[in-house]
Amino acid sequence: MIKVIGLTGGIASGKSTVVDFLISQGFRVIDADKVVHELQLPGGKLYQEILINFGTEFFDENKQLNRAKLGELVFSDDKAREKLAKLQNKIIREELYTRRDNLLTELSKMLQTENNNLTELSKKTVQNTVIFMDIPLLLEQHYDGFDEIWLIAVSENIQLERVMLRDNLSEKAAEARIAAQMSLTEKMKYADKVIDSSGTFEETQAQVLQALDTLK
């Protein structure tokens, strides 16, 4: 059986670090942020919708979407954020689930071949029985179809510091971005596993490895 693990966390919670580590360990990860960026490129499904609904002012001279400018708008205007979420949700959801289904088919065929040639599951085969879906708004947008949900969490103070440093934002602007998402405390109620990324990379990595051991 192939398990689908939903991976989520608040802004600047350390989720990208965990994703990079999972990929380095040979696991497949469907990254929602990367998928969205692809869809927002010229010719992508979201590109034209954003152009029509938000106007040319959010595109640069090369006709590329100015994500920073659009982000400033949606994190300061609730109506604009709701409008963008409604606009993007259906397209993004369909694309993510399509990629999941394609990967499930690919891995199922691979496992069938391996099972015909091996009497025991190899380490590689274990890695081929798990798909991670990295979705920042997994809970807010009510995504489903997961065997488990893993939450990457961090203390509120560290989260605020990371957002300010990473995005070069004022404290007020950083707080607005954090407030736009469900709180990590609330997200913990829905998580099967919580990985605390407040410490060092090695400490976070150890928690991920422990969580992976439960899948073997």
Q: Is 12 marked as a binding-site residue?
A: yes
Domain range enclosing 152: 3-213
The pLDDT of residue 124 is 57
User: At a CB cut-off of 8 Å and minimum separation 6, what does 99 contact?
Assistant: 30, 35
SS3 at position 62: coil
Band (pLDDT 50/70/90 cuts) for residue 209 is: very high
Q: Is 14 marked as a binding-site residue?
A: yes
Q: Is the pLDDT of residue 179 over 80?
A: yes
- R_g of the chain computed on alpha carbons: 19
Q: Is 13 marked as a binding-site residue?
A: yes
Structurally, how many domains does the chain consist of?
1
More confident residue, 36 or 127: 36
- pTM of the full predicted structure? 0.85
Residue 35 in contact with residue 99, Cβ under 8 Å? yes
Alpha-carbon distance values, 68 to 60, 65, 125, 164 (Å) = 11, 9, 41, 14
Q: Is 76 marked as a binding-site residue?
A: no
| pLDDT tens digits for range 87-119 | 889 999 999 999 999 999 998 888 777 665 544
Interhelix angle 67-74/45-54, nearest 10 degrees: 60
Residue 128 in contact with residue 26, Cβ under 8 Å? no
Q: Six-digit token pair at 80?
A: 């604009």
Q: Is 16 marked as a binding-site residue?
A: yes
